[in-house]
Amino acid sequence: MERRGKSEPGANGGHTVPDTQEFWEIRVAGHLDIGWSQWFDELAVTNVEGGETVLFGGVPDQAALHGLLARIRDLNLTLISAKRVSLEELTNEHGEGFWRTDNPTTR
């Protein structure tokens, strides 16, 4: 696994400090209301064709990612995929600004 950021000493011999927040695209089965965005740490909630919801946004670290996945599990949602992506990849796939909450296609 690629190690990103710079290593700083800590109580356990070192840890990685991320240079930047990573963007994640998490897909679940079914359509969620946009109101769930707050419950998912302000990730954008976008319903797409095929009965799926895309959760997208910056996730500061692996602990936060695992917390999001635990919430999905606790809600008994079906996880389809979780992948680290660049903003450019998502824009190419879904169009400019699809993740913004003021976008009328974001539901």
52-87 pLDDT, tens per residue? 999 988 899 999 999 999 999 999 999 999 999 987
Residue 12 lies in a domain: no
CB atoms within 10 A of CB 32: 20
Other CB atoms within 10 A of residue 37 CB: 18
Q: Is residue 47 part of a domain?
A: yes
Q: How many domains does the chain have?
A: 1
In a domain, 101, yes or no: yes
Structure pTM? Answer: 0.67
Q: Is residue 57 part of a domain?
A: yes
- Is there a domain that residue 77 lies in? yes
Tens digits of per-residue pLDDT, 86-106? 877 767 776 666 555 444 444
Residue 18: inside a domain: no
Q: Whole domain around residue 94: which residue ranges?
A: 31-107
- Dmax over CA atoms of the chain, in Å, equals 48
Q: How far is CA 36 from the centre of its chain?
A: 13
Residue 10 domain flag: no
